[in-house]
Amino acid sequence: MGATATNPFKDQIHFLTKKLLPFALYALLPLALLRLYFYPIPLPHSSTDQLPVNSPIFTTSSFSSSSSSSSSSASASSSSSSSSLAPPSRKEENATEIQCDYTNGTWVPDKSGPLYNGTSCSTIKENQNCIRHGRPDLGYLYWRWRPNQCGLPRFEPEAFLGLLRNRHLAFIGDSMARNQLESLLCMLSTVSPPELIYRDGEDSHLHIFRRWIIPSHNVTVSSYWSPFLVNGIEKSNEVSYNKLYLDSIHGKWGSDLEGMDMVVLSVGHWFLHPAVYTDGDSVLGCHYCPGLNHTEIGFYDPLRRAIKTTLNSILQKRGGSRGNSINVIVTTFSPHHFEGPWDKAGACPKTEPYKEGEKSLEAMDQQMRDIVIEEVDAIKSHDKKIGRMRLEVLDITKLAYMRPDGHPGPYMNPFPFANGVRERMQNDCVHWCLPGPIDTWNEILLQVMKRWED
């Protein structure tokens, strides 16, 4: 038999494959590594990467057209289906970054202290000038509010005045509104002293109406005494109860509303007093009115009606597309800290803030706060009607409740213990020392104003 013929090409291919394959692998490996480096394989997102987002107290403003409102609604309804298809824009990322819930946080020590003191500011009401009246413990001045979600910068007077240049800011409400106003004026006075240009009489302890100008920025700041926001007749020596007309706003500030660019509303404590409530010609009922033939209805519903009437009146006069825009801030209820009789020493003796969880918010304080938030939310839901009116809540109830140490107490009067401890001694455990915790209200207010401008 002859020898079997071999295929030289087959042997050559086998030889080439054996020799060249390792070189090909060595060449491809670096290329594969370069590909992975520059174009990594996307990994599926874990659910733990998505942090829960709380509803912030201050979000983007309500200043929008109806078209933008419609597009926002459409975007919200389709977010679940489109979020994985398109990355957020830089503008959307910035909007997420600036949102902050200032409501929840902790008071932390702060060595820097306040911007002003009891002698450097001339607009402090004497009853709140705790330093000048000899309060010996000054530790209450060295705390700052630290929100859980973000930082709260120190107050910047120049920035605040810049945002208000050529505008009119009005504080409307009770003595808590005045307390916040005087805090603000003191903080602004560190760079540009305000000039009082009008007040309604030297003998008025309430100063029902006052107005300042800050010439450096042409800023006007006004204070309107209106403890119910709506029309009312305050109690007197002859009549032991207030009478509230819940269907109409207070005449003085209502008639001046057209000239205001921004208002801060703050009421609450006067609703706790005995009162009779009316709507038009009808008496709705009363709160603590023994001897009168009226139904007891408490004070929660009257407060709600007053807030509703106020916001609807502003909306009707300045909302929609009519005229210039107006910015409205509604401050929530600021709790008192009486721990004993108001006329005894030690009525509010604390010298440090409460720690988180140390004391729960009282039910009444919570309810007063919730009413304000609910009524503001109800107005903001009418996006087409709200138009050029921007509206936010300044939710200070919790952070105020945690500061039992910030009130004048007996130091509402000068040197109350100079002659020993008297049997009867008036205390103020409602208003705030200046400087004091209420300065924080205005730090948050500035952040809201900055967000509006953004």
Does residue 84 carry a catalytic annotation?
no
Q: Which of 61, 175, 223, 266 is catalytic?
A: 175
Residues 355-380 as b/e (b if ≥16 CB within 10 A, e otherwise) read: eeeeeeeeeebbebbebbbebbeebb
Give yes or no for a contact between 428 and 334, defined as CB atoms under 8 angstroms apart: no
Does residue 382 carry a catalytic annotation?
no
What are the beta bridge partners of residue 196?
212
Residue from 115, 214, 170 nearest 443 by CA: 115
Residue from 225, 130, 206 nearest 432 by CA: 130
d(CA 302, CA 246): 7
d(CA 141, CA 144): 9
d(CA 338, CA 410): 12
Give yes or no for a contact between 377 and 403, defined as CB atoms under 8 angstroms apart: no
Q: Which two tokens stand for residue 241?
A: 């109860």
Give yes or no for a contact between 391 and 375, defined as CB atoms under 8 angstroms apart: no
Give yes or no for a contact between 439 and 187, defined as CB atoms under 8 angstroms apart: yes
d(CA 309, CA 320): 17
Does residue 407 carry a catalytic annotation?
no
d(CA 134, CA 236): 33
Q: Which residues are known catalytic residues? A: 175, 428, 431
